[in-house]
Amino acid sequence: MAIVVNKPLPEFEANATGGIKVSNTSHNGQIVILYFYPKDNTPGCTTEAMQFRDKYKDFVKAGAAVFGVSRDNMKSHDDFKEKLELPFELIADTEEKMCHMFGVVKNKIMYGKKVKGIERSTFLIDTDGILHQEWRGLKVPGHVEEVLKAVKSLKTLKKEAA
């Protein structure tokens, strides 16, 4: 089942660092940011994780939970999280269930070879579990600020609708 903007997320459940489970309903009532990245400890992914880390308090203040998602295993995630002192949890999608559900697995060319990789993407889910916005194939510089701005405007929209 694929995801669609302005529709509820399909059912899913995944394990994250900190011994928690994340599902399509585990954070209802809270805005959720899911950012998919190719691999722990690579330059672009490290930069992106540090930028989410540095803005984390702003996300929390705006009512959002942040989760990084990659195909790395839990040990890799625990090490990456500790090394960068990340205040948010990382989801280990080793079987690529979430990656396929969110449509982020893409064919890439690396060193002249075709490989399947994760397209750097971020998804903003509102307090009712509905996909509000998505960014695909993004570049790291300026992205986290853009997501934070979207979270703040979503929070304002929700207040106005209440």
Weakest mean pLDDT among 44-48, 64-68, 136-140, 157-161? 157-161
Residues 9 and 84: beta-carbon distance below 8 Å: no
Task: Using the predicted structure, report yes or no on whether residue 162 has a pLDDT greater than 80.
Answer: no
Residues 40 and 79: beta-carbon distance below 8 Å: yes
pLDDT for res 152: 94
Mean pLDDT, rounded, for 133-160: 89
pLDDT for res 54: 98
| Active site annotation includes 45 | yes
Share of the chain above pLDDT 70, in %: 96
Local confidence band at 1 (pLDDT 50, 70, 90 cut-offs) = low
More confident residue, 113 or 150: 150
Q: What does each C-alpha distance from 161 to 21, 33, 54, 131, 155 come to in angstroms? A: 30, 21, 30, 17, 10
Residues 91 and 108: beta-carbon distance below 8 Å: no
Q: Which of 16, 45, 144, 148 is the catalytic position? A: 45
pLDDT for res 41: 95
Residues 81 and 90: beta-carbon distance below 8 Å: yes
Over residues 7-26, the pLDDT tens digits come to 999 999 999 999 999 999 99
Q: Which pTM value belongs to this model?
A: 0.93
